[in-house]
Chain A
């Protein structure tokens, strides 16, 4: 068992380097449940975990859980980050679309001749007040450039914050459905894109499932109407690959924890009985308590099993991270908003990063001023754009911004 344990989550030596790593599409071998491979990347200056997550098609939940203690918004340059690009497939029929709410991941199965292919994407799911429903449903219809008809409950939530929404939001940057929507047979629930990509991997929706814009386009194109959709909630996944049993534990919702744990232990006891060997229960409890969301090898089902797949591979940092918010150059004729004036550099950088990751983006940067650090949002083309941004900062982030007029007019 020891040799199996040592492979879990340990960082690779410098020798294994890869330019690219598969992040979405994987073949599923018969009788196997684990896909993909863990990877490691070295952060560069200015990286944030949401930027790394998006580039590698991961949710913010997954990258945060896999890297406990790493600052999401201001991580240290040079720090090595684990990319949890290995997944245990949910315990569900491998057909159509399966969404695991606990792992915030969607799996789309396709038969390819005699083999099975799975494409997986991270998702954003409903909040505890407005949860995503579990169960069986199907794709009822699809729409490109959908119009968002604002539900009364959401309109009321916004009105309370002083934000009056129209009855319908047309396609465009302000539309929270993004560019594509798949309407589910369960009325009122959709799988759609987003104008807030940093929300993928968060419980932030009103029950819908959100995908990165680049992922929803592929899903939209690959999914015919009537495709079955099964939504499950499985925080503890067990599965095997190459004769090794893996456990992938995620932080469960409090109310379901005891029940889910009971189910897990029951399954493991059955496996133990069948194998007629004792399981390393300490390892199981550790993986469950850590809840890092990565498959951890816990048991060799047969002697001399292949454990290489559990070792992470080192991936080169790309020149540019896909979808990373860009900050336009300063312009003396532009309008700006002073969002914060803080004594601490890290605090200022964090606020700037959070503002940059709003949807639609509000560009923001940090200016060093004697004894303090200023977070300046902008540039904005005119006063009304700056005022609109200041209003959004107030409503969404409770920041009292001060509008700054251009240095040079005309």
Chain B
């Protein structure tokens, strides 16, 4: 009986002792987890804020880029229109010159005997 008691004590005591240590540790771990969680929350929040900022920056960049694109396009269109206008003016001048030349040629022909 004494032997059995001894064996039992040998098994229960360490268990009790372990049980006590685990509760303290668990609280500590839980506290740490809480802190980490809070940190994670903050990090997430920061990341989300950063992402939001990045997204906003991207939107701004996209907007700027789009505006730049449309400005370039408008400039290109203006240039194209100017070139077309110039081309039309050159063409008009060319036509006028050709008309004058044609009229002159007809005149010169009419001056023969």
- Asked if B2 CB lies within 8 Å of chain A CBs, one says no
CB < 8 Å: which of B103, B112, B113 contacts A351?
B103
Residue on A nearest B110 in the bound complex, by CB: A396
Instruction: Tell me which of A86-94, A202-210, A237-245, A269-277 binds B.
Output: A202-210
- Asked if A104 CB lies within 8 Å of chain B CBs, one says no
Residue on B nearest A204 in the bound complex, by CB: B111
CB < 8 Å: which of A154, A354, A358 contacts B113?
A154
Mask, A198-241, CB within 8 Å of B = 1, is 11001011100000000000000000000000000000000000
What are the residues of chain B within 8 A of A71 when measuring CB–CB?
100
* Docked complex Cα distance between A397 and B100 (Å): 14
- At the interface, is chain B mostly helix, strand, loop or mixed? helix
Return B105 CB to nearest CB of chain A, in Å.
11
- Asked if B106 CB lies within 8 Å of chain A CBs, one says yes
**Residue pair A347, B99 in contact (C-beta under 8 Å):** yes
Return B60 CB to nearest CB of chain A, in Å.
54
**Residue pair A202, B111 in contact (C-beta under 8 Å):** yes
What are the residues of chain A within 8 A of B96 when measuring CB–CB?
346
- Asked if A380 CB lies within 8 Å of chain B CBs, one says no
Interface centre among B104, B106, B107 (most CB of A within 10 A): B107
- Asked if A287 CB lies within 8 Å of chain B CBs, one says no
- Asked if B109 CB lies within 8 Å of chain A CBs, one says yes
Return B100 CB to nearest CB of chain A, in Å.
7
What are the residues of chain A within 8 A of B111 when measuring CB–CB?
124, 196, 198-199, 202, 204, 359
Return A340 CB to nearest CB of chain B, in Å.
11
Residue on B nearest A351 in the bound complex, by CB: B103
Return A39 CB to nearest CB of chain B, in Å.
25
* Docked complex Cα distance between A396 and B107 (Å): 8
**Residue pair B99, A398 in contact (C-beta under 8 Å):** no
Return A395 CB to nearest CB of chain B, in Å.
9
Return B37 CB to nearest CB of chain A, in Å.
86
- Asked if A95 CB lies within 8 Å of chain B CBs, one says no
What are the residues of chain B within 8 A of A346 when measuring CB–CB?
96
**Residue pair B113, A397 in contact (C-beta under 8 Å):** no
Mask, B30-63, CB within 8 Å of A = 1, is 0000000000000000000000000000000000
- Asked if B23 CB lies within 8 Å of chain A CBs, one says no
Which residues 73-113 of B have a CB within 8 angstroms of A?
A: 96, 99-100, 103-104, 106-113
- Asked if A56 CB lies within 8 Å of chain B CBs, one says no
Interface size class of A (residues with CB under 8 A): 20 to 34
- Asked if A127 CB lies within 8 Å of chain B CBs, one says yes
Residue on A nearest B103 in the bound complex, by CB: A350
CB < 8 Å: which of A72, A127, A358 contacts B110?
A358
- Asked if A107 CB lies within 8 Å of chain B CBs, one says no
* Docked complex Cα distance between A329 and B109 (Å): 29
Return B108 CB to nearest CB of chain A, in Å.
6
Mask, A351-383, CB within 8 Å of B = 1, is 100100111000000000000000000000000
Return B90 CB to nearest CB of chain A, in Å.
15
* Docked complex Cα distance between A196 and B113 (Å): 9
What are the residues of chain B within 8 A of A396 when measuring CB–CB?
109-110
What are the residues of chain A within 8 A of B99 when measuring CB–CB?
347, 350
Residue on A nearest B109 in the bound complex, by CB: A396
- Asked if A335 CB lies within 8 Å of chain B CBs, one says no
**Residue pair B112, A397 in contact (C-beta under 8 Å):** no
Return A107 CB to nearest CB of chain B, in Å.
23
* Docked complex Cα distance between A199 and B112 (Å): 8
Binding site for B on A (CB under 8 A): 71-73, 124, 127, 154, 157, 176, 196, 198-199, 202, 204-206, 346-347, 350-351, 354, 357-359, 396-398
Binding site for A on B (CB under 8 A): 96, 99-100, 103-104, 106-113
A-B pairs with the 8 shortest C-beta distances? A199-B111, A396-B110, A204-B111, A176-B113, A354-B107, A204-B112, A397-B106, A196-B111
CB-defined A-B contacts under 8 Å, sample of 20? A71-B100, A72-B100, A154-B113, A157-B112, A198-B111, A199-B112, A202-B108, A205-B112, A206-B112, A350-B99, A350-B100, A354-B103, A354-B106, A354-B110, A358-B110, A359-B111, A396-B109, A397-B106, A397-B107, A397-B110
